[in-house]
Amino acid sequence: MECMPKFFRFLPILLLGACALQTDIRLRRMPDRSMEPTIFNQQVVRENFGLYRDKPVQRFDLVMVKDPDKPDQTSIKRVVGLPGETVRVASHRAFVNEQPLAEPFIQVLPAKDPKDPKPGASFGPLTVPAGEYFLLGDNRTASLDSRLWSRRTVKQQDILAAVQVSK
């Protein structure tokens, strides 16, 4: 009987710990420079694993996805092309259905030699299959994304979380 009161003293702490393990929000450090200037290398972001249960993925959402070329790893990218849209990239700028996107968040560094553009400077056109998305990094010259992945689009089920950035 003497142990009973001690157990009850720790019960709220145990319950709080169990609830914390069940959260849909996790913190993570950005592993590279591919999303600069929006997210800097090693900046902490929130990953919301429950958001897309209640709302659809939208253009310009920041998402954490399974890396199509390394399935045991994940990447953080921006949704640019939605299912059924035709996407192309010219001089690192995205066009959807031949309309240029307003992308104030991208960082594009000019190539040192205009005759030798960096990989991914131009891409497409590509029509995004149903249930899939075309993703790009904001730092287009330092991002491995849909332009360079062997599988150019990401299936909806491979979008694991929405990424939220604190300012």
Which residues are the active-site residues? 34, 77
Q: Which residues of 121-149 are buried (b: 16+ CB within 10 A; e: fewer)?
A: bebbebebeeebbbbbbbbbbbbbbbbeb
CB 165 within 8 A of CB 61: no
For CA atoms 58, 61, 66, 70, the dihedral sign is positive
Which pair of tokens denotes residue 119? 């990989």
Backbone angles phi, psi at 3, to 5 degrees: -75, -25
